[in-house]
Amino acid sequence: MALLSIEDPLFAGILEEREGVYRFKTFTAGEWVGGREYIEVRSPIDCSVIAEVPKLEWSQDDAALDRVYRVGRWRVRDTPGWRRLEILERLASLMEEHREALVHSLVVNSGKTRGQAEGEVNACID
Protein backbone atom coordinates (compact mmCIF):
# COMPACT_ATOMS: atom_id res chain seq x y z
CA MET A 1 0.00 0.00 0.00
CA ALA A 2 1.38 3.41 -0.99
CA LEU A 3 1.61 5.77 1.95
CA LEU A 4 1.69 9.52 1.79
CA SER A 5 3.95 10.59 4.64
CA ILE A 6 3.81 14.26 5.47
CA GLU A 7 6.05 15.25 8.33
CA ASP A 8 7.12 18.61 6.92
CA PRO A 9 5.86 21.45 9.15
CA LEU A 10 4.96 23.40 6.02
CA PHE A 11 1.71 21.43 5.90
CA ALA A 12 0.68 22.08 9.52
CA GLY A 13 -2.75 23.63 9.73
CA ILE A 14 -3.93 22.54 6.29
CA LEU A 15 -4.44 18.86 6.96
CA GLU A 16 -5.48 16.38 9.59
CA GLU A 17 -4.91 12.65 9.74
CA ARG A 18 -7.89 10.29 10.00
CA GLU A 19 -7.23 6.57 10.24
CA GLY A 20 -3.93 6.90 8.38
CA VAL A 21 -5.36 9.06 5.58
CA TYR A 22 -4.66 12.78 5.30
CA ARG A 23 -7.65 15.07 4.90
CA PHE A 24 -6.57 18.32 3.27
CA LYS A 25 -8.08 21.77 3.11
CA THR A 26 -8.06 23.58 -0.23
CA PHE A 27 -6.77 27.09 -0.93
CA THR A 28 -9.37 29.24 -2.61
CA ALA A 29 -9.61 33.02 -2.93
CA GLY A 30 -6.90 33.62 -0.35
CA GLU A 31 -7.99 31.23 2.40
CA TRP A 32 -7.77 27.57 3.37
CA VAL A 33 -11.20 25.94 3.51
CA GLY A 34 -12.63 22.51 4.19
CA GLY A 35 -15.84 21.03 2.95
CA ARG A 36 -18.84 19.00 4.02
CA GLU A 37 -17.96 16.28 1.55
CA TYR A 38 -14.56 14.94 0.53
CA ILE A 39 -13.17 13.17 -2.53
CA GLU A 40 -10.75 10.27 -2.17
CA VAL A 41 -7.32 10.66 -3.77
CA ARG A 42 -5.92 7.31 -4.89
CA SER A 43 -2.32 6.50 -5.62
CA PRO A 44 -1.69 5.27 -9.17
CA ILE A 45 0.89 2.90 -7.67
CA ASP A 46 -1.68 0.54 -6.12
CA CYS A 47 -5.01 2.44 -6.09
CA SER A 48 -4.91 2.81 -2.30
CA VAL A 49 -6.55 5.88 -0.76
CA ILE A 50 -3.74 8.25 0.22
CA ALA A 51 -5.68 11.43 0.96
CA GLU A 52 -9.02 13.20 0.85
CA VAL A 53 -9.66 16.67 -0.56
CA PRO A 54 -12.73 18.89 -0.15
CA LYS A 55 -15.52 18.72 -2.68
CA LEU A 56 -16.52 22.37 -2.65
CA GLU A 57 -20.14 23.37 -3.01
CA TRP A 58 -21.21 25.65 -5.86
CA SER A 59 -21.84 28.46 -3.38
CA GLN A 60 -18.20 28.24 -2.21
CA ASP A 61 -16.96 28.28 -5.80
CA ASP A 62 -19.17 31.23 -6.73
CA ALA A 63 -18.06 33.24 -3.68
CA ALA A 64 -14.38 32.54 -4.43
CA LEU A 65 -14.70 33.48 -8.10
CA ASP A 66 -16.59 36.65 -7.20
CA ARG A 67 -13.93 37.67 -4.69
CA VAL A 68 -11.07 36.97 -7.11
CA TYR A 69 -12.81 38.88 -9.88
CA ARG A 70 -13.65 41.91 -7.71
CA VAL A 71 -10.42 42.19 -5.74
CA GLY A 72 -7.74 39.88 -7.06
CA ARG A 73 -7.67 40.84 -10.71
CA TRP A 74 -6.79 44.44 -9.88
CA ARG A 75 -4.28 43.45 -7.24
CA VAL A 76 -2.41 41.32 -9.77
CA ARG A 77 -2.56 43.99 -12.47
CA ASP A 78 -1.29 46.63 -10.05
CA THR A 79 1.63 44.54 -8.78
CA PRO A 80 4.86 45.88 -10.32
CA GLY A 81 7.19 43.50 -12.11
CA TRP A 82 9.93 43.74 -9.46
CA ARG A 83 7.44 42.66 -6.76
CA ARG A 84 6.24 39.73 -8.89
CA LEU A 85 9.87 38.64 -9.26
CA GLU A 86 10.35 38.80 -5.47
CA ILE A 87 7.28 36.59 -5.01
CA LEU A 88 8.57 34.02 -7.52
CA GLU A 89 12.02 34.01 -5.91
CA ARG A 90 10.45 33.44 -2.47
CA LEU A 91 8.39 30.58 -3.91
CA ALA A 92 11.52 28.98 -5.39
CA SER A 93 13.26 29.33 -2.02
CA LEU A 94 10.36 27.64 -0.22
CA MET A 95 10.32 24.82 -2.77
CA GLU A 96 14.05 24.32 -2.25
CA GLU A 97 13.57 24.24 1.51
CA HIS A 98 10.76 21.68 1.29
CA ARG A 99 12.12 19.74 -1.70
CA GLU A 100 11.98 16.29 -0.10
CA ALA A 101 8.31 16.60 0.89
CA LEU A 102 7.41 17.74 -2.62
CA VAL A 103 9.36 14.89 -4.26
CA HIS A 104 7.75 12.29 -1.99
CA SER A 105 4.28 13.65 -2.67
CA LEU A 106 4.83 13.45 -6.46
CA VAL A 107 6.06 9.85 -6.19
CA VAL A 108 3.04 8.68 -4.19
CA ASN A 109 0.35 10.93 -5.70
CA SER A 110 1.43 10.79 -9.35
CA GLY A 111 3.23 7.47 -9.55
CA LYS A 112 6.41 9.14 -10.78
CA THR A 113 9.82 7.61 -10.25
CA ARG A 114 12.01 9.41 -7.76
CA GLY A 115 14.17 10.70 -10.62
CA GLN A 116 11.15 12.06 -12.49
CA ALA A 117 9.81 13.71 -9.33
CA GLU A 118 13.18 15.29 -8.55
CA GLY A 119 13.42 16.57 -12.12
CA GLU A 120 9.96 18.12 -11.92
CA VAL A 121 10.68 19.83 -8.61
CA ASN A 122 14.06 21.07 -9.89
CA ALA A 123 12.43 22.46 -13.05
CA CYS A 124 9.89 24.35 -10.94
CA ILE A 125 12.61 25.79 -8.73
CA ASP A 126 14.65 26.90 -11.75
Digitized pLDDT (tens) for each residue of the chain, 126 residues in all: 556 667 778 778 888 888 888 899 999 888 899 989 999 999 888 888 888 999 999 999 998 899 888 887 778 788 999 999 999 999 999 999 999 989 988 888 888 899 999 999 999 999
In this prediction the pTM is 0.72
Q: What gap in Å lies between CA 112 and CA 103, rounded to an integer?
A: 9
